[in-house]
Amino acid sequence: MEKLIAGGRIVTESGIFEADILIRDEKIVSVGDNLPRNEGTEIIDAAEKLIMPGGIDAHVHLNLPMPGTISSDDHFTGTMAAAFGGTTTVIDFANHDRPSLVDSFKTWQAQALPNIAVDYGIHQNFTNFNEKTLAEIPLLPELGVTSIKMFTAYNGRMRLSDAQIFQAMRIAKQEGIISLIHAENGDLIDLLVKEALENGHTEPIWHARTRPAWGAVESVLRSSAISFSAGNAPIYIVHMNVCEEADQLLYARQHGLTIFGETCPQYLLFTEKELERADGLKWICSPPVRLEKDNDGLWNALADGTIDVIATDHCPFLFDGTTKILYQGESYQSPGKELGILDFSKTPGGVPGVGDRMPVIWTKGVVEGKLSPARFVQLMCTNPAKIFGLYPQKGSLNPGSDADIVIWNPEKVVRYGVSVARHRTDYNLYEGMVLKGFPEKVYLRGKLIVDGEQWFGERGGGRFLKRSRYKA
């Protein structure tokens, strides 16, 4: 059956224009003025509304095991929350839990696919280095995985040495795989956490004080140097939280490196002051929220094109896991942030965000004049699709693209918070924030899955996305 979205203003990475969109089956087949209304075509009136590509959140963690608990959003609740926020594609991370890299991917994929409600890709963590796992990296693209993630922190658990990262990057470049880097200085973190606890500093603010901002800056530069040494292997710095990291992106690009940067809403809108609140555990995530100068610097780097993507690093936990919550009519309970009440280092690190990203950034970015609507679409939709091998299937409203479409009401005012967001958790970082502009209807491959507060999607209704190899 055909659908015609008529009378709206289309927002793309290039600008805003008035046009209709014709959908047939799962694809956009035509975009233009006054498209013909064929008999039997469903007409969707988008007058006075904006029409955007479905959002792509390139950094989420769903059903992620942590010491003593598991993140509170599973693959269904997290992807449903994404849809209500206007996001129709997420890219999750497969833990490297098994001796085989490929087996780790297949295990993660098998648990996810029956439950996803939007389209879904996977980055493969690479944290167990040996000759066998190194030799498996070239097998990933045939499985649809064209990105691996490596860490310069979490010593003794996930961190690789510089030489190991170099070897992995060198192979990744040959295979059209982009290397994602969690950039912090693990040696400094371990020492400073040990010293803080020995001196009785257990409060949440010490999470930030033991993870030096310049350790992240240094790690971006070091990762860039490794990339250059590996033949200009393409790299992507996740969750940038310090404004000087953006300086390192520019420096690396000026020297010919292929490097991309991502930040998250929490690093644009919050500071270490939140960690000093009575409920400061809510804001513990790694890397931590920083200073106002970093908020400002990151916004500027988004506006001028230095930082390429806004993702979320969505990884929620209950604030009070000793108390059950009611979610979608069912009782839910799991250990949460209270695990760190006597020791900040035992707090499950992560915050909710996958459903908040688009409406919060529209208000704080577009409405407040920091970003243009076109730049919003670039950061939220088009750039992640291009970087991660999904364009033009995703992130685009061109003929032939998947009909992942958000009809956005720019005049809708919402007092936001946990009662609006659909995350399976008991708090929201943006509680009480007044937002202007909100998703009204959300289509996944032409199917209406969100209509206001109504859910028409389904568990397992999403598809796994085999992503193309990276091409410079």
Query: What is the rounded CA–CA span in Å between residue 282 and residue 303?
Result: 28
Residue 326 lies in a domain: yes
Q: Are residues 306 and 279 in the same domain?
A: yes
Task: Report the pLDDT averaged over residues 60-85.
Answer: 98
Residue reference for tokens 């992942």: 404
Query: What is the rounded CA–CA span in Å between residue 330 and residue 108?
Result: 25
How many domains does the chain divide into? Answer: 2
Here the CATH number for the domain that contains residue 216 is 3.20.20.140
Structure tokens at 76: 């269904």
Residue reference for tokens 């167990």: 128
Residue 312 lies in a domain: yes
| pLDDT, tens only, 265-305 | 999 999 999 999 999 999 999 999 999 999 999 999 999 99
| pLDDT, tens only, 103-140 | 999 999 999 999 999 999 999 999 999 999 999 999 99
Supply the pTM of this predicted model.
0.98
Residue 462 lies in a domain: no
Residue reference for tokens 């809403």: 265
The number of residues in the chain equals 472
Q: For position 438, what pLDDT does the model report?
A: 98
Q: Are residues 32 and 100 in the same domain?
A: no
Structure tokens at 212: 């030096």
Residue 470 lies in a domain: no
Here the CATH number for the domain that contains residue 449 is 2.30.40.10
Q: Are residues 154 and 250 in the same domain?
A: yes
Q: For position 148, what pLDDT does the model report?
A: 98
Task: Tell me the pLDDT band of 28, cut-offs 50, 70 and 90.
Answer: very high
Of the candidates 378, 353, 363, 357, the one whose C-alpha atom is nearest the C-alpha of residue 437 is 363
- Burial class from Cβ neighbours inside 10 Å (0-12, 13-18, 19+) for residue 400 reads exposed
Query: What is the rounded CA–CA span in Å between residue 136 and residue 131?
Result: 9
Q: Are residues 58 and 41 in the same domain?
A: no
178 in Cβ contact with 471 (< 8 Å): no
Q: Are residues 83 and 190 in the same domain?
A: yes
Structure tokens at 418: 């946990």
Residue 438: give the domain boundaries.
Answer: 2-52+396-425+433-455
Q: For position 472, what pLDDT does the model report?
A: 78
Residue 324 lies in a domain: yes
Q: Are residues 59 and 48 in the same domain?
A: no
Residue 264 lies in a domain: yes
| pLDDT, tens only, 335-355 | 999 999 999 999 999 999 999
Q: For position 84, what pLDDT does the model report?
A: 98
Q: For position 146, what pLDDT does the model report?
A: 98
Task: Tell me the pLDDT band of 172, cut-offs 50, 70 and 90.
Answer: very high
| pLDDT, tens only, 196-224 | 999 999 999 999 999 999 999 999 999 99
Q: Are residues 285 and 408 in the same domain?
A: no
Residue 1 pLDDT greater than 90, yes or no: no
Q: Are residues 226 and 203 in the same domain?
A: yes
Residues in contact with 109: Cβ distance below 8 Å, sequence separation at least 6, in sequence order: 94, 122, 464
Residue 40 lies in a domain: yes
By percentage, how much of the chain surpasses pLDDT 90? 98
Task: Report the pLDDT averaged over residues 301-330.
Answer: 97
| pLDDT, tens only, 80-99 | 999 999 999 999 999 999 99
CA gyration radius for the chain?
A: 21
Q: For position 117, what pLDDT does the model report?
A: 98
Q: Are residues 138 and 225 in the same domain?
A: yes
Query: What is the rounded CA–CA span in Å between residue 188 and residue 211?
Result: 7
Residue 349 lies in a domain: yes
The rounded mean pLDDT for the chain is 98
Q: Are residues 101 and 207 in the same domain?
A: yes
Residue reference for tokens 């420096």: 251
Q: Are residues 380 and 403 in the same domain?
A: no
Structure tokens at 243: 């404004």
Q: Residue 444: phi, psi to the nearest 5?
A: -110, 110
Of the candidates 329, 269, 331, the one whose C-alpha atom is nearest the C-alpha of residue 295 is 269
Q: For position 38, what pLDDT does the model report?
A: 86
61 in Cβ contact with 264 (< 8 Å): no
- Report the 3 state secondary structure along the chain: CEEEEECCEEECCCCEEECEEEEECCEEEEEECCCCCCCCCEEEECCCCEEEECEEECCECCCCEECCEECCCCHHHHHHHHHHCCEEEEEEEECCCCCCHHHHHHHHHHHHCCCCCCEEEEEEECCCCCHHHHHHHHHCHHHCCCEEEEECCCCCCCECCHHHHHHHHHHHHHCCCEEEEECCCHHHHHHHHHHHHHCCCCCCHHHHHCCCHHHHHHHHHHHHHHHHHCCCCCEEECCCCCHHHHHHHHHHHHCCCCEEEEECHHHHHCEHHHHHCCCHHHHCCCCCCECHHHHHHHHHHHHCCCCCEECCCECCCCCCCCCCEEECCEEECCCCHHHHCCCHHHCCCCECCCCCHHHHHHHHHHHCCCCCHHHHHHHHHHHHHHHCCCCCCCCCCCCCCECCEEEEEEEEEEECCCCCCCCCCCCCCCCCCEEEEEEEEEEECCEEEEECCEECCCCCCCCECCCCCCCC
Question: In DSSP terms, which residues pair with 446 in a beta bridge?
Answer: none
Q: Are residues 330 and 417 in the same domain?
A: no
